[in-house]
Amino acid sequence: MVEATNLASSIMRGSAEVLPWWKGAVIYQIYPRSFLDSNGDGVGDLKGILQGLDHIANLGVDGIWISPFFTSPMADYGYDVADFCGVDPIFGTLADFDAIVERAHALGLKVIIDQVYSHTSDHHDWFIESRSSRENPRADWYVWADPKSDGSPPNNWQSVFGGPSWEWDARRGQYYFHNFLKEQPDLNLYSEQVQNALIAAGRFWLDRGVDGFRLDALNFSMHDRQLRDNPPSGVPSHQATRPFDMQVHKYNMSQPEIVGFIEKFRAMLDEYPGTFTVAEVGGPNPIGEMKAFTEGSGRLNSAYNFDFLYAPELNASRVIKSANLWDQTEGEGWPSWAFSNHDAPRAITRWAASEHRDDMARLYLMLLLTLRGNPIIYQGEELGLPQAKVPYSSLKDPEAITNWPKTLGRDGARTPLPWYAKEANAGFSTGEPWLPVDPEHTPLAVDQQQGNDSVLRFTAEALSVRKRHPALLRGSMSFDEVAADEMLVIRRALGDETLIALFNLSNEDLPFAPERLGIGEIVLSSRPLKKNLLSNSVLPKRLGVWVRAE
């Protein structure tokens, strides 16, 4: 087993500064419904996560992020929360969750969980009370507005999942606002009572031993109180997947007052030393919000966006542009990065031809581990899983159903993790899985990847090598200029250590002059080299390599 290292004890080379455990930590995302089913009902659960923790710890990651397991009617598969402090019976009990925290900590893993603060389920007790009248104690806990004189919605805001962001409610004779599904009414975070209730929910989980949070859709959590119309984006209808794409989202989200709530939330977190909190920040130009949410010591630790998650292709210019948005100045927050997750089609399918997926799975993993920040590995990336094929008749994701067949949808990234190739349903469940197991995933099962040439073993090796090199964990990052957009040269430096990461993202060998880059000994290569890299005139196709600088 590659033992997970507690980075809290790490000392910056040449400095007496003691760094927090999360600075450079690798986080493994668990999507509970599809990780491992312990009771044969076809849905992954908390006991399944407990059984699979050794697999995760053996990779050498530093922590886990568990997607929602809270009480929910599952309109959006857990992101419609009906009780922030409850476990949905389909996943288990609070005792099952406590057992995960205890075992994870024993294995050296930190535990991060989702918190969804922009909205709740329409089944939440708060919303049930809020919609009951205009005078009840929680009447202003959600965003309510009167119709226009003609009965139409208050403004032109469109929801992420398609259609207007307003739903009529006859009980109050008003519309309520929802950025996502109509079953996910938006909370009114301008209310101090709402803020206090959400902070109390976070405290509940911290008291149970969690080490921090991933804050879902945080920049959707406040709206323009004047309810002004969003301006048009200029995207024509025939090019848009949904009406949402045809607006600039100036007023339905991304309000400056969000920072005030973050600072209040952080004050509570500071009562629990060693916590780590990362924000999800969507949108076409999220960097300003990401920096605002993480600036200084009184806000969040980190943030990530969808630069790579929705990218249809990967090249050097895209990587450089995204990474250089973080200019590494004092007081700037710390970025996190993800190439795949439960909300986006798997990167290996978006970026690589099927015949090259084995090579490219290793290369992409190395690139993710090279970027300055916190890499987030989504379950199945360590196996090189491609996007699963899910027939229309088996789709569960409301976004995939609404937009079919325009997009790949999210279900193909949420299918069960394959554990044992020769068992029914690849060992995920003895019952019929909630989403089908893709036959292409079965040969990539965990038990089939125990050999040294597997993507799984390479993942553990790469994580082990990364831990031994402080420059990769928390060093500075710069890019060398090269002629080809398919070649990427990254330098990571800390103290007297400099590592150079070379990536040929193409299917062709590229001209290469190692003496000009000043490279020395090879630390790790994504696949075996036929010739000594230092005496080679080309960088081989589909190769990633870490080398020491001379």
Per-domain residue ranges for the chain? 25-120+192-319+331-385, 474-549
What superfamily in CATH does domain 25-120+192-319+331-385 come from?
Glycosidases (3.20.20.80)
What's the pLDDT score for residue 516? 84
SS3 for 463-482 is HHHHHCCHHHHHCEEEECCC
Please, are residues 77 and 396 in contact by the beta-carbon 8 Å criterion? yes
**β-strands 374-378, 476-479: how paired?**
unpaired
Alpha-carbon gap, residue 91 to 70, rounded angstroms: 8
Alpha-carbon gap, residue 381 to 342, rounded angstroms: 12
Specify which residues 174 forms β-bridges with.
169
**355 classed as catalytic:** no
DSSP run (H or E) holding 270: none
pTM of the model: 0.95
* Sign, CA torsion 215/216/218/222: negative
| Catalytic residue of the set 17, 150, 271, 515 | 271
What's the pLDDT score for residue 323? 97
* Torsion angle, alpha carbons of 495, 528, 351, 217, to 10: -40
- Tally of CA atoms within 13 A in the half-sphere of 258 that contains its CB: 28
Alpha-carbon gap, residue 222 to 516, rounded angstroms: 51
What superfamily in CATH does domain 474-549 come from?
Golgi alpha-mannosidase II (2.60.40.1180)
What's the pLDDT score for residue 122? 98
SS3 for 76-108 is CCCCCCCEEEEECCCCCCHHHHHHHHHHHHHCC
Please, are residues 541 and 506 in contact by the beta-carbon 8 Å criterion? yes
Alpha-carbon gap, residue 435 to 34, rounded angstroms: 8
What's the pLDDT score for residue 13? 37
Q: Helices (H), strands (E): how many in the chain?
A: 14, 20
What's the pLDDT score for residue 17? 58
Alpha-carbon gap, residue 285 to 189, rounded angstroms: 23
Alpha-carbon gap, residue 74 to 486, rounded angstroms: 42
Judging by beta carbons within 10 Å of its beta carbon (0-12, 13-18, 19+), is residue 171 exposed, middle or buried?
exposed
SS3 for 279-343 is EECCCCCCHHHHHHHHCCCCCCCEEECCCCCCCCCCCHHHHHHHHHCCCCCCCCCEEEEECCECC
Total count of residues recorded for the chain: 550
The reply to whether omega before 405 is within 30° of 0 (cis) is yes
* Sign, CA torsion 253/240/341/411: positive
Percent of the chain with pLDDT over 70: 97
Amino acid at 547: V
Q: Within a 10 A sphere around the Cβ of 328, how many other Cβ atoms?
A: 13
**Per-residue model confidence as pLDDT tens digits over 176-199:** 999 999 999 999 999 999 999 999
Amino acid at 392: Y
Query: Which two structure tokens, joined as six digits, stand for 182?
Result: 């109509």
Alpha-carbon gap, residue 140 to 190, rounded angstroms: 9
Alpha-carbon gap, residue 283 to 218, rounded angstroms: 11
Alpha-carbon gap, residue 273 to 20, rounded angstroms: 10
Alpha-carbon gap, residue 357 to 218, rounded angstroms: 33
Helix (H, G, I), strand (E, B) or coil at 524: strand
What's the pLDDT score for residue 8? 37
**Per-residue model confidence as pLDDT tens digits over 351-393:** 999 999 999 999 999 999 999 999 999 999 999 999 999 999 9
**216 classed as catalytic:** yes
Alpha-carbon gap, residue 428 to 44, rounded angstroms: 8
| Catalytic residue of the set 62, 88, 167, 216 | 216
Q: pLDDT tens digits, the chain, 550 residues: what are they?
A: 333 334 333 333 334 457 899 999 999 999 999 999 999 999 999 999 999 999 999 999 999 999 999 999 999 999 999 999 999 999 999 999 999 999 999 999 999 999 999 999 999 999 999 999 999 999 999 999 999 999 999 999 999 998 999 999 999 999 999 999 999 999 999 999 999 999 999 999 999 999 999 999 999 999 999 999 999 999 999 899 889 999 999 999 999 999 999 999 999 999 999 999 999 999 888 999 999 999 999 999 999 999 999 999 999 999 999 999 999 998 999 999 999 999 999 999 999 999 999 999 999 999 999 999 999 999 999 999 999 999 999 999 888 888 788 777 899 999 999 999 999 999 999 999 999 999 999 999 999 999 889 999 999 999 999 999 999 999 999 999 987 889 999 999 999 999 999 999 999 999 988 888 888 899 999 999 877 777 778 999 999 999 999 8
Please, are residues 363 and 541 in contact by the beta-carbon 8 Å criterion? no
Helix (H, G, I), strand (E, B) or coil at 29: strand
Block residue for tokens 């699979």: 52
